[in-house]
Amino acid sequence: MTDFRDPPADHRTRIKICGLTRETDVDAAVDAGVDAIGLVLYDKSPRHVTLDRAVTLARQLPPFVTPVLLLVNAEASFVSEAISRLPQALLQFHGDETPEECGQSGHPYIRAARMASGFNLLDFARQFSKTQALLVDAHVEGYGGGGKLFDWSLLPSRLPCPMILSAGLNPGNVAEGVLKVRPWAVDVSSGVEAAKGIKDASLMRQFCQAVRAADRQGAETPSPARIE
């Protein structure tokens, strides 16, 4: 098994900021140095945007910054429409979707996994063998991590695919997460907000700076203390 929990010392942790709803926030996220933005197409979320709005926001992005469409138990017809209108986007399945449902379009996707005591992430990864990455989130009522941290010691020491660390991250704790977990990427939403769906440009900048500082520290310390 390729060990995606042990990236090279000079690995650059990718950054995704999720739940953007305004053009000004998209611009601020790009200026802060993100690699991807998340657009929530789940109508029960306070950060929900329509597909039309997602298309408009995605037009703000420069090359090499990826839009990610967050879906929760969406109809196959809606998934197909989203792909046709935003073919450059990555899909993120965050509900109860099966491996077959996630893969039926043939479009690249990432799968959210809700971490809790007794949950076997390695088995989950084997079930979703076609996923581009697993986004590990907290297990709370409803869908999404609710801005809550989970116990990072629940994570297996090896995974067959890249891992995106999410749930409760903010500028004050993301460096610790990068150094201890060594994820492929990190994902943040509420941790950089002034209000639900309204991002804070200063917090986004601080978050990205903290990730880069952790990357530099990790490069200087090739064998950081990692959760096993």
Mind telling me the catalytic residues?
18, 137
Strand bridging mode 14-18 / 36-40: parallel
The residue with tokens 């063998």 is 129
**Tokens (6 digits) for 195:** 């209000």
**Tokens (6 digits) for 203:** 């917090």
**Could you give the CA distance from residue 171 to residue 214 in angstroms, rounded to a whole number?**
11
CB-count exposure of residue 142 (10 Å: 0-12, 13-18, 19+): exposed
C-alpha distances out from residue 58 to 20, 24, 64, 76, 209, Å:
10, 12, 12, 22, 23
Q: What is the DSSP string of 6-46?
A: S--TT---EEEEE----HHHHHHHHHHT-SEEEEE--TTST
Query: What are the E-state strand segments in the chain?
Result: 14-18, 36-40, 66-71, 90-93, 109-115, 134-138, 163-165, 185-188, 193-195, 198-199
